[in-house]
Amino acid sequence: MQIAALRQRLRELGAKPAHEARVLRAWLAGQPLTAGPRQAEDVLPLAVRDALPALAAELDALARVRSQHPGADGSARLLVELADRQMVESVLLLKDGLCVSTQVGCAVGCRFCMTGRDGLLRQLGSAEIVAQVVLARRQRPVKKVVFMGMGEPAHNLDNVFAAIDLLGREGGIGHKNLVLSTVGDRRVFDKLESLAAGDVRPALALSLHTTDPELRAQLLPRAPQIGIDELVERAEAWARASGYPIQYQWTLLAGVNDNAAEIDGIVRLLKGKYAVMNLIPYNENEGLGYRRPDRERAGEMLRTLHRRGILTKLRTSAGQDVDGGCGQLRARATVTPAE
């Protein structure tokens, strides 16, 4: 189900904008869809009230938590099963954050990622993306949503932006707490520019991983062919337009992108930019052949970048102790018979 179709159905049942908003807000809050007191000012039309139980069942059927894997760091990975039994992962993050998936599988094929291994299986509908927030909110508050789970949001742009729009308008999430993540795609920048004067303007995270174009083409083999300088330039324009710094993502791979040449490259690209560099030590996946740098190396890179004027943070990938990396739970579930 798409959000636009859901809105259309409510309208056809006679819902006015206030009624529509009320139903959507109840869904987004993870509350039961009930008609509410008859005396309420925005009392729902009879046809809408009658349709609510069936609608609630349909929305509930979009996604369910198949299994939950708490991490020692307070995060938790959710393996989410969709109506057609395909599976994606969501991650409950610290400080009321949630990481959601936007596709089943992914076509970018990053060499270090389990999700990229199988290619793209299908797109998530806009309502399926939002349903992950609803499932999470049934467990704990969600005040920030990052679109950084399985999939490349740029490859499912309309549905991702429909989800962002709904969460920003009716979901009680501030714009800077809606973080769209991409490997970099002109279509994302074009879309963001079209939103510059709009009501809902998300923050942007850009997966850089290297400043060397040849290495980038190897690591992210099917990412769009777009120069790294152009990526940073367009991202910077969005940071200035939105008022939120760009979160650069750098999966730290031992012996691959943790060297002095990369530090020079980062300084050249990001010095003076409205940006935060997030170094994320790789969470090793058996069989993919990449290693996590030791703590000292990661710390040294952090300190060097700071010293050279780049605002840098050393992040952990949430829930590393529970089959941690993006796609690992799903990969395991698809080879393990269902309980």
Indicate which residue of 99, 106, 110, 326 is catalytic.
326
Q: Which residue is nearest to ligand SF4 (CB)?
A: 116
Q: Does 211 bind ligand SF4 (CB under 6 A)?
A: no
Q: Does 154 bind ligand SF4 (CB under 6 A)?
A: no
**Considering only CA atoms, which of 59, 41, 51 is closest in space to residue 13?**
51
Beta carbon of residue 332, minimum distance to ligand SF4 (angstroms, whole number):
16
Q: Does 106 bind ligand SF4 (CB under 6 A)?
A: yes
Instruction: Confirm whether 128 is a catalytic residue.
Output: no
Q: Does 236 bind ligand SF4 (CB under 6 A)?
A: no
Beta-carbon contacts of 337 under 8 Å, excluding residues fewer than 6 positions away, are: none
- Whose structure tokens read 């939103």? 195
Q: Does 165 bind ligand SF4 (CB under 6 A)?
A: no
Q: Does 124 bind ligand SF4 (CB under 6 A)?
A: no
Q: Does 326 bind ligand SF4 (CB under 6 A)?
A: yes
Per-residue CA distances from 311 to 273, 300, 315 (Å)? 10, 14, 13
Reading the block at residue 243, the tokens are 């008022």
Q: Does 249 bind ligand SF4 (CB under 6 A)?
A: no
Span of 110-118, 287-295, 312-320, 330-338 interacting with ligand SF4 by CB under 6 A: 110-118
The C-alpha angle with vertex 111 and arms to 225 and 160, in degrees rounded to 5, equals 60
What is the C-alpha to C-alpha distance for residues 170 and 72, in angstroms, rounded to an integer?
33
Residues 131-150 that bind ligand SF4 (CB under 6 A): 150
Beta-carbon contacts of 179 under 8 Å, excluding residues fewer than 6 positions away, are: 144, 145, 146, 147, 148, 202, 203, 204, 205, 247
Q: Does 113 bind ligand SF4 (CB under 6 A)?
A: yes
Beta carbon of residue 91, minimum distance to ligand SF4 (angstroms, whole number):
13
> For 75, which DSSP code?
-
Q: Does 152 bind ligand SF4 (CB under 6 A)?
A: yes
Amino acid present at 99: C
Q: What is the CA radius of gyration of the chain?
A: 21
Provide the 10 A C-beta neighbour count for residue 213. 13
Instruction: Confirm whether 113 is a catalytic residue.
Output: no
Indicate which residue of 20, 89, 128, 262 is catalytic.
89
Catalytically active residues, by annotation:
89, 326
| Residues in touch with ligand SF4 (CB under 6 A) | 106, 108-110, 113, 115-116, 150-152, 183, 326
